Structure 1
Amino acid sequence: MHFEKYLLALSAIAICASASRFDREWNSWKSKYGKKYVSPSKELYRRKAWEATWEKVQKHNQLADQGLTSYRMAMNHFADLTTEERNSKNCLLSKGTSQTPKINSYSHAQSSTIPDEVDWRKSNCMSPPRDQGDFCGSCWAFATVGVIESRYCIKTNKLLKLSEQQLVDCDEHDDGCCGGLPVQALDYVAQNGVMMRKDYEYSEKKATCEYEPEKAIMLNVTKYYMLPSEENMAAAVAFEGPLTVGIGVTEDFMLYNGGIFEGSCAEEPNHAIVIVGYGTEPAEDEDEEDTDYWIIKNSWGEKWGEKGFGRMKRNIDQCQISNMVATIDFTV
Structure 2
Amino acid sequence: MEIMAGSCWAFAAVAAMEGMNKIRTGELVSLSEQVLVDCDSLSSGCDGGRSDTALSLVAARGGITSEERYPYSGFQGKCDVDKLLFDHQASVKGFNAVPCNNERQLALAVARQPVTVYIDASGFEFQFYAGGIYRGPCSGNPARVNHAVTIVGYCEDEGEGNKYWIAKNSWSNDWGDQGYIYLAKDVPWKTGTCALASSPFYPTA
Task: Indicate the TM-score class for this superposition, using the shorter chain for normalisation.
Answer: 0.7 to 0.9
Does residue 203 of structure 2 align to residue 328 of structure 1? Answer: yes
C-alpha contact (below 8 Å) 1:223/1:329 kept by paired residues: yes
The corresponding residue for 2:158 is 282
| Closer, same or farther: CA 306–191 of 1 in aligned 2, 3 Å | same
Shift of 1:205: 0.8
Question: How many residues in Structure 1 have an aligned counterpart in Structure 2?
Answer: 192
Please report how far the alpha carbon of residue 225 of structure 1 lies from its aligned counterpart in structure 2 after TM superposition.
2.5
Shift of 1:227: 2.9
Pairing 1:186-265 to 2, within 5 Å after superposition:
186-192=55-61, 193-212=63-82, 213-217=85-89, 219=91, 221=93, 223-228=95-100, 229-238=102-111, 240-249=112-121, 250-265=123-138
Matched-pair contact (CA < 8 Å) for 1:227–1:326: no
8 Å Cα contact 1:187-1:224 kept in structure 2: no
Relative contact order (alpha carbons < 8 A, sep ≥ 6): 1 or 2 greater? 2
Letter in 1 for 2:73: S
Quick check: which one's helix share is greater?
Answer: 1
Q: Deviations over 1:80-133 (max 9, x none)?
A: xxxxxxxxxxxx617xxxxxxxxxxxxxxxxxxxxxxxxxxxxxxxxxxxxxxx
- For residues 142-178 of structure 1, the C-alpha deviation after alignment (integer angstroms, 9 at most, x for no partner) is 0000000110110110111110000001000111111
Q: Give 1 or 2 for the bigger CA radius of gyration.
A: 1
TM norm structure 1: 0.55
Hey, what does 2:172 align to over in structure 1?
301
Once the two structures are superposed, the pairs formed by residues 81-160 of structure 1 within 5 Å of their partners are: 93=3, 137-160=6-29
SS of residue paired to 1:257: coil
Percent of aligned pairs sharing the same letter: 36
Work out whether residues 296 and 312 of structure 1, in 8 Å CA contact, stay in contact via their aligned partners in 2: yes
TM-score, normalised relative to structure 2:
0.88
Q: Distance in 1 between matches of 2:94 and 2:194?
A: 30
Distance 1:320 1:203, change over 3 A: same
Unaligned runs of 5+ in 1: 1-91, 95-135, 284-288
Show structure 2 runs of 5+ residues with no match.
Answer: none
